[in-house]
Amino acid sequence: MNCREFQHQISLLFYEELPEAEKPGLENHLQACDVCRHVFEEEKGLHSVLAEDAASWDLPSDLLVESRRELGNELDQIERKRSWWRVPAFSVVFTPMRLLESAALVAMGLALGVYVSNQQQIATVVQNPSEPPSIVSSLPANGSVSNLRIVSANPATGQVELAGEIVQPLRMQGTMGDDAVRQLLVSALGESTNSGSRLRAVEVLAQQPNSEVVKSALIQALMHDENTGVRLRAMQGLKQFAGEADVQAAFMNSLNNDMDAGIRVEAIEALTRNGRDTSLVKQLEPFTRDDNSYVKMKALQFVGTKP
Protein backbone atom coordinates (compact mmCIF):
# COMPACT_ATOMS: atom_id res chain seq x y z
CA MET A 1 0.00 0.00 0.00
CA ASN A 2 1.12 3.59 -0.62
CA CYS A 3 0.82 6.67 1.61
CA ARG A 4 -2.40 7.83 -0.01
CA GLU A 5 -4.12 4.57 0.88
CA PHE A 6 -2.80 4.72 4.43
CA GLN A 7 -4.07 8.33 4.76
CA HIS A 8 -7.45 7.07 3.60
CA GLN A 9 -7.33 4.50 6.41
CA ILE A 10 -6.55 7.32 8.88
CA SER A 11 -9.84 9.01 7.99
CA LEU A 12 -11.71 5.73 8.36
CA LEU A 13 -10.01 5.14 11.69
CA PHE A 14 -11.27 8.39 13.22
CA TYR A 15 -14.79 7.69 11.97
CA GLU A 16 -14.60 4.13 13.39
CA GLU A 17 -15.02 2.63 9.95
CA LEU A 18 -11.61 0.93 9.65
CA PRO A 19 -11.78 -2.88 9.92
CA GLU A 20 -9.88 -4.34 12.87
CA ALA A 21 -7.74 -6.45 10.54
CA GLU A 22 -6.29 -3.32 8.90
CA LYS A 23 -5.41 -1.42 12.09
CA PRO A 24 -2.07 -3.22 12.83
CA GLY A 25 -0.78 -2.43 9.33
CA LEU A 26 -1.71 1.24 9.72
CA GLU A 27 -0.03 1.45 13.12
CA ASN A 28 3.19 -0.04 11.76
CA HIS A 29 3.18 2.39 8.86
CA LEU A 30 2.63 5.42 11.12
CA GLN A 31 5.69 4.45 13.14
CA ALA A 32 7.85 4.42 9.98
CA CYS A 33 6.36 7.32 7.91
CA ASP A 34 6.69 10.94 9.07
CA VAL A 35 4.29 12.28 6.41
CA CYS A 36 1.43 10.01 7.32
CA ARG A 37 2.11 10.51 11.02
CA HIS A 38 1.75 14.27 10.46
CA VAL A 39 -1.59 13.69 8.70
CA PHE A 40 -2.67 11.47 11.60
CA GLU A 41 -1.86 14.20 14.14
CA GLU A 42 -3.75 16.86 12.12
CA GLU A 43 -6.91 14.76 11.89
CA LYS A 44 -6.56 13.78 15.53
CA GLY A 45 -6.46 17.46 16.51
CA LEU A 46 -9.50 18.24 14.37
CA HIS A 47 -11.53 15.42 15.88
CA SER A 48 -10.52 16.55 19.37
CA VAL A 49 -11.95 20.00 18.66
CA LEU A 50 -15.12 18.48 17.26
CA ALA A 51 -15.44 16.18 20.26
CA GLU A 52 -15.30 19.13 22.70
CA ASP A 53 -18.28 20.79 21.03
CA ALA A 54 -20.25 17.62 20.38
CA ALA A 55 -21.86 17.68 23.82
CA SER A 56 -23.67 20.92 23.01
CA TRP A 57 -25.15 19.62 19.75
CA ASP A 58 -28.74 18.45 19.69
CA LEU A 59 -28.63 15.73 17.04
CA PRO A 60 -31.26 13.12 16.14
CA SER A 61 -30.48 9.74 17.60
CA ASP A 62 -30.53 7.96 14.26
CA LEU A 63 -28.28 10.50 12.45
CA LEU A 64 -25.07 8.57 13.15
CA VAL A 65 -26.56 5.31 11.92
CA GLU A 66 -27.84 6.92 8.73
CA SER A 67 -24.55 8.73 8.13
CA ARG A 68 -22.56 5.55 8.52
CA ARG A 69 -24.85 3.75 6.12
CA GLU A 70 -24.44 6.48 3.48
CA LEU A 71 -20.70 6.52 4.02
CA GLY A 72 -20.50 2.80 3.52
CA ASN A 73 -22.43 3.01 0.28
CA GLU A 74 -20.13 5.73 -1.04
CA LEU A 75 -17.02 3.76 -0.11
CA ASP A 76 -18.36 0.67 -1.86
CA GLN A 77 -18.93 2.65 -5.04
CA ILE A 78 -15.41 4.10 -4.89
CA GLU A 79 -13.87 0.67 -4.44
CA ARG A 80 -15.77 -0.68 -7.45
CA LYS A 81 -14.59 2.19 -9.65
CA ARG A 82 -10.94 1.95 -8.66
CA SER A 83 -10.38 -1.06 -10.88
CA TRP A 84 -10.57 1.14 -14.00
CA TRP A 85 -10.26 4.77 -12.85
CA ARG A 86 -8.31 6.21 -9.98
CA VAL A 87 -10.25 8.70 -7.87
CA PRO A 88 -9.05 10.73 -4.87
CA ALA A 89 -9.27 8.89 -1.57
CA PHE A 90 -12.48 9.69 0.26
CA SER A 91 -12.00 11.86 3.31
CA VAL A 92 -14.06 14.40 5.21
CA VAL A 93 -10.86 16.43 5.70
CA PHE A 94 -9.10 17.22 2.39
CA THR A 95 -5.33 17.47 2.41
CA PRO A 96 -3.69 19.85 -0.16
CA MET A 97 -2.79 16.90 -2.38
CA ARG A 98 -6.37 15.66 -2.38
CA LEU A 99 -7.67 19.12 -3.22
CA LEU A 100 -5.25 19.32 -6.14
CA GLU A 101 -6.33 15.93 -7.38
CA SER A 102 -10.02 16.89 -7.15
CA ALA A 103 -9.38 20.19 -8.98
CA ALA A 104 -7.57 18.31 -11.75
CA LEU A 105 -10.54 15.99 -12.21
CA VAL A 106 -12.95 18.94 -12.34
CA ALA A 107 -10.78 20.73 -14.93
CA MET A 108 -10.59 17.58 -17.05
CA GLY A 109 -14.36 17.24 -16.89
CA LEU A 110 -14.92 20.85 -17.99
CA ALA A 111 -12.42 20.54 -20.84
CA LEU A 112 -14.07 17.34 -22.01
CA GLY A 113 -17.48 19.01 -21.88
CA VAL A 114 -16.30 21.97 -23.97
CA TYR A 115 -14.68 19.66 -26.50
CA VAL A 116 -17.78 17.51 -26.88
CA SER A 117 -19.97 20.62 -27.19
CA ASN A 118 -17.77 22.06 -29.92
CA GLN A 119 -17.74 18.78 -31.80
CA GLN A 120 -21.53 18.63 -31.64
CA GLN A 121 -21.79 22.17 -33.02
CA ILE A 122 -19.40 21.35 -35.87
CA ALA A 123 -21.33 18.19 -36.65
CA THR A 124 -24.56 20.19 -36.73
CA VAL A 125 -23.13 22.62 -39.30
CA VAL A 126 -21.79 19.83 -41.48
CA GLN A 127 -24.67 17.38 -41.18
CA ASN A 128 -27.63 19.80 -41.31
CA PRO A 129 -27.83 21.18 -44.88
CA SER A 130 -31.24 22.72 -44.17
CA GLU A 131 -29.64 25.56 -42.19
CA PRO A 132 -28.78 28.70 -44.18
CA PRO A 133 -25.05 28.71 -45.10
CA SER A 134 -22.81 31.34 -43.54
CA ILE A 135 -20.89 33.85 -45.62
CA VAL A 136 -17.65 32.14 -44.62
CA SER A 137 -18.64 28.79 -46.09
CA SER A 138 -20.68 29.85 -49.10
CA LEU A 139 -20.14 31.89 -52.24
CA PRO A 140 -22.56 34.71 -53.09
CA ALA A 141 -24.52 34.19 -56.29
CA ASN A 142 -22.99 37.27 -57.91
CA GLY A 143 -19.51 36.85 -56.45
CA SER A 144 -16.27 35.20 -57.42
CA VAL A 145 -13.19 33.99 -55.58
CA SER A 146 -9.65 35.17 -56.09
CA ASN A 147 -6.37 33.88 -54.63
CA LEU A 148 -7.97 30.51 -53.89
CA ARG A 149 -5.74 28.05 -52.03
CA ILE A 150 -6.19 24.68 -50.33
CA VAL A 151 -5.49 24.89 -46.60
CA SER A 152 -5.99 21.17 -45.88
CA ALA A 153 -7.54 18.07 -47.40
CA ASN A 154 -8.40 14.70 -45.82
CA PRO A 155 -8.94 11.94 -48.42
CA ALA A 156 -10.31 9.59 -45.76
CA THR A 157 -13.22 11.86 -44.77
CA GLY A 158 -13.48 13.99 -47.89
CA GLN A 159 -13.12 17.16 -45.82
CA VAL A 160 -11.43 20.07 -47.59
CA GLU A 161 -10.62 23.51 -46.18
CA LEU A 162 -10.22 26.35 -48.67
CA ALA A 163 -9.21 29.97 -48.30
CA GLY A 164 -9.46 32.91 -50.65
CA GLU A 165 -11.05 36.28 -51.20
CA ILE A 166 -14.67 36.80 -52.21
CA VAL A 167 -15.04 39.43 -54.94
CA GLN A 168 -18.48 40.89 -55.60
CA PRO A 169 -19.57 43.33 -58.30
CA LEU A 170 -19.90 46.96 -57.17
CA ARG A 171 -21.96 49.70 -58.74
CA MET A 172 -22.60 53.11 -57.18
CA GLN A 173 -23.20 56.71 -58.14
CA GLY A 174 -21.93 59.89 -56.55
CA THR A 175 -19.82 62.99 -57.00
CA MET A 176 -16.16 63.76 -56.47
CA GLY A 177 -17.21 65.40 -53.24
CA ASP A 178 -18.24 62.01 -51.84
CA ASP A 179 -15.44 60.45 -49.80
CA ALA A 180 -16.43 56.93 -50.84
CA VAL A 181 -16.36 57.76 -54.56
CA ARG A 182 -13.06 59.59 -54.25
CA GLN A 183 -11.46 56.77 -52.29
CA LEU A 184 -12.61 54.14 -54.79
CA LEU A 185 -11.11 56.16 -57.66
CA VAL A 186 -7.85 56.58 -55.76
CA SER A 187 -7.78 52.83 -55.07
CA ALA A 188 -8.44 52.04 -58.73
CA LEU A 189 -5.59 54.33 -59.75
CA GLY A 190 -3.12 52.80 -57.34
CA GLU A 191 -4.11 49.14 -57.23
CA SER A 192 -5.81 48.17 -60.48
CA THR A 193 -3.92 45.77 -62.76
CA ASN A 194 -6.01 47.00 -65.69
CA SER A 195 -4.32 49.96 -67.40
CA GLY A 196 -7.67 51.00 -68.92
CA SER A 197 -9.22 51.27 -65.45
CA ARG A 198 -6.27 53.28 -64.19
CA LEU A 199 -6.45 55.64 -67.19
CA ARG A 200 -10.16 56.23 -66.67
CA ALA A 201 -9.62 56.81 -62.94
CA VAL A 202 -6.83 59.33 -63.49
CA GLU A 203 -8.90 61.20 -66.07
CA VAL A 204 -11.71 61.66 -63.55
CA LEU A 205 -9.39 62.54 -60.67
CA ALA A 206 -7.40 65.02 -62.75
CA GLN A 207 -10.56 67.03 -63.41
CA GLN A 208 -10.88 67.93 -59.72
CA PRO A 209 -7.55 67.38 -57.91
CA ASN A 210 -8.79 69.52 -55.04
CA SER A 211 -7.72 67.38 -52.08
CA GLU A 212 -4.41 66.21 -50.67
CA VAL A 213 -5.49 62.59 -51.13
CA VAL A 214 -6.14 63.08 -54.84
CA LYS A 215 -2.99 65.15 -55.36
CA SER A 216 -0.86 62.49 -53.66
CA ALA A 217 -2.46 59.80 -55.81
CA LEU A 218 -1.67 61.77 -58.99
CA ILE A 219 1.94 62.26 -57.87
CA GLN A 220 2.34 58.54 -57.26
CA ALA A 221 0.84 57.76 -60.66
CA LEU A 222 3.15 60.26 -62.38
CA MET A 223 6.25 58.81 -60.75
CA HIS A 224 5.49 55.08 -60.80
CA ASP A 225 2.72 54.06 -63.24
CA GLU A 226 4.01 51.95 -66.11
CA ASN A 227 1.43 53.30 -68.56
CA THR A 228 2.53 56.44 -70.45
CA GLY A 229 -1.04 57.68 -70.88
CA VAL A 230 -1.68 57.46 -67.12
CA ARG A 231 1.52 59.36 -66.32
CA LEU A 232 0.75 62.07 -68.89
CA ARG A 233 -2.82 62.58 -67.65
CA ALA A 234 -1.60 62.70 -64.04
CA MET A 235 0.91 65.42 -64.98
CA GLN A 236 -1.77 67.46 -66.70
CA GLY A 237 -3.89 67.28 -63.57
CA LEU A 238 -0.96 68.44 -61.41
CA LYS A 239 0.11 71.45 -63.49
CA GLN A 240 -2.04 73.83 -61.46
CA PHE A 241 0.08 72.88 -58.40
CA ALA A 242 3.44 73.34 -60.17
CA GLY A 243 4.50 75.99 -57.66
CA GLU A 244 4.25 73.53 -54.73
CA ALA A 245 7.41 71.78 -53.57
CA ASP A 246 6.11 68.19 -53.69
CA VAL A 247 4.69 68.64 -57.20
CA GLN A 248 7.91 70.31 -58.41
CA ALA A 249 9.87 67.35 -57.04
CA ALA A 250 7.61 64.96 -58.98
CA PHE A 251 8.08 66.96 -62.21
CA MET A 252 11.87 67.00 -61.72
CA ASN A 253 11.77 63.23 -61.20
CA SER A 254 9.94 62.81 -64.52
CA LEU A 255 12.36 65.19 -66.27
CA ASN A 256 15.32 63.19 -64.99
CA ASN A 257 14.03 59.63 -65.27
CA ASP A 258 11.02 59.25 -67.57
CA MET A 259 11.88 57.43 -70.80
CA ASP A 260 9.04 59.09 -72.72
CA ALA A 261 10.04 62.35 -74.45
CA GLY A 262 6.50 63.70 -74.31
CA ILE A 263 6.41 63.35 -70.51
CA ARG A 264 9.77 65.16 -70.19
CA VAL A 265 8.57 68.01 -72.44
CA GLU A 266 5.40 68.40 -70.37
CA ALA A 267 7.51 68.39 -67.21
CA ILE A 268 9.84 71.21 -68.23
CA GLU A 269 6.95 73.28 -69.56
CA ALA A 270 5.16 72.94 -66.22
CA LEU A 271 8.32 73.79 -64.26
CA THR A 272 9.11 76.94 -66.29
CA ARG A 273 5.55 78.22 -66.42
CA ASN A 274 5.38 80.04 -63.08
CA GLY A 275 8.34 82.42 -63.35
CA ARG A 276 12.01 82.27 -62.54
CA ASP A 277 13.20 80.84 -59.24
CA THR A 278 16.86 80.75 -58.22
CA SER A 279 16.78 77.19 -56.84
CA LEU A 280 14.90 75.99 -59.93
CA VAL A 281 17.47 77.66 -62.20
CA LYS A 282 20.19 75.53 -60.61
CA GLN A 283 18.13 72.38 -61.02
CA LEU A 284 17.39 73.05 -64.71
CA GLU A 285 20.90 74.17 -65.69
CA PRO A 286 22.06 70.61 -66.55
CA PHE A 287 19.17 70.31 -69.05
CA THR A 288 20.65 73.07 -71.21
CA ARG A 289 22.73 70.20 -72.64
CA ASP A 290 19.86 67.73 -72.89
CA ASP A 291 19.63 65.30 -75.83
CA ASN A 292 16.05 66.32 -76.51
CA SER A 293 16.13 69.56 -78.52
CA TYR A 294 12.87 70.92 -77.12
CA VAL A 295 13.91 70.24 -73.51
CA LYS A 296 17.28 71.82 -74.20
CA MET A 297 15.65 74.94 -75.76
CA LYS A 298 13.20 75.40 -72.85
CA ALA A 299 16.03 75.00 -70.33
CA LEU A 300 18.23 77.52 -72.13
CA GLN A 301 15.37 80.01 -72.26
CA PHE A 302 14.67 79.63 -68.56
CA VAL A 303 18.25 79.56 -67.32
CA GLY A 304 19.43 82.32 -69.69
CA THR A 305 16.64 84.72 -68.70
CA LYS A 306 18.03 87.68 -66.79
CA PRO A 307 16.41 88.33 -63.41
Stretches in the chain below the pLDDT threshold 70: 49-65, 67-68, 75, 78-143, 176, 305-307
pTM of the entire structure? Answer: 0.46
Query: What ranges do the domains of the chain cover?
Result: 3-46+68-104, 173-241, 244-307
Q: What is the pLDDT of residue 132?
A: 44
SS3 breakdown of the chain: % helix, strand, coil, rounded to 5? 65, 5, 30
Task: Please report which helix (H) or strand (E) contains residue 163, including its range.
Answer: strand 159-167
Domain 244-307 matching CATH 1.25.10: the answer reads yes
* Alpha-carbon distances, residue 250 vs 213, 267, 283 (angstroms): 15, 9, 13
The answer to whether 284 and 299 have CB atoms below 8 angstroms apart is yes
The predicted-structure confidence for 143-183, as pLDDT tens digits, reads as follows 677 777 888 888 788 788 878 887 777 777 777 677 787 78
C-alpha span between 172 and 156 (Å, rounded): 47
